[in-house]
Amino acid sequence: MVQSQSFQSTSSATLSKERRAQLPPVFPVLVAITADTAASAAVRITHALAQECGAVPTVLHVVQEDIAESPATTGAMGSIPEADLDPAYRTAQLLALEEQVHRTLGALPAWQYDVEVGATVSTIVQRAHELRAELVILGLPQHNFFRRAFVRDTMQGIAENTQSAVLAVRPELTHRPESILVAVDFSITSLRAAHLACQLVAPGGRIILVYVQPDLPPESSADSTRMTADGTSTLESALASLIDELTC
C-alpha cells in the first residue's frame, strides 16, 4: 500500500520541536566535485544555496592516492602522501578547480577551495566532519551506468559514516528544486529529511510525502488501518499532522 500527500512550501515555516532539523541562518556545505560535467550542476545548486539560504561552501577535489604518483628514484611509480604532494601539482589542481567553478558561474565566488589526496569516501567524510557540514553535495552523472554506480556507492559510504545530509544533483538542475519527493516511515531520519526538504525547495515549490506500507501479516498491519475518531486512518492522520508541522 502506498500513501502519498503533497503540499506547497512556505517561506516562513517555523520548526520548533527538537526533532525537527532546521538549517541555521549560516551553515557550512561541502561540495565534492570532479573534473566532469556532473560537477556543473553541483556548483550551480551550491551557488543558489549560498545566495538564498545562507550556505557557506567549501569546494573539494579529491585526488585518488593511486593517481597522485611520482617517479621514485628507482624509476617505479609509487603512491605519495598528501604532505609530500608536489606543490606545483597541487597548485595546478587548485587552479583547475577554481577555473571549473568560474566557467560554470561566470565568476569565482569567495568560497573555500581545497585539493586533498586520499580515498574518495573517507576523505570526504573526514572533511565534512571537520567543517561540521550540514550538507555534502555531489554531482550525479547522466547516461553512464558505471559513473552513476560510483556516485551511488560514494553517497552510501558518506551517508553511513557522517551526520551530514547528502544531496546528489542531476546535471540539468540549475536552481533550487521546485519539487521534492520524500519517502517517510516516521523515523527520526525520515522526519529530518522532510524538514530539510522544506528548506531546500524553491519558494512556492512542492513537497511530496510518500509512505509505503510493507507487506506484513494482517495482524501486524492493523495499526495503519485503524480509524481515528474523525473517521480517518491513523496513517492519514499521521501524514496530515506531519504536513501541519512542516507548514506551520
Q: What is the pLDDT of residue 18?
A: 43
Spans of the chain, pLDDT less than 50: 10-20, 70-80, 83, 227-231
Instruction: Calculate the alpha carbon distances from 158 to 24, 112, 228 in Å.
Output: 22, 21, 40
> Tell me, what's the pLDDT at 173?
84
Question: Looking at residue 70, what is its pLDDT?
Answer: 47
The domain limits of the chain are: 2-247
Judge contact between 194 and 207, C-beta under 8 A: yes
Instruction: Name residues whose C-beta falls within 8 Å of residue 103's C-beta, 6 or more positions apart in sequence.
Output: none
Q: Which listed CATH number (1.20.1270.360, 3.20.20.140, 3.90.550.10, 3.40.50.620) goes with 2-247?
A: 3.40.50.620
This prediction's pTM? 0.76
In Å, what is the CA distance from 82 to each residue of 35, 69, 111, 117? 19, 10, 22, 5
Position 101 scores a pLDDT of 95
Q: What pLDDT, on a 0 to 100 scale, did the predictor assign at position 157?
A: 93
pLDDT tens-place string over residues 39-58: 899 999 999 999 999 999 99
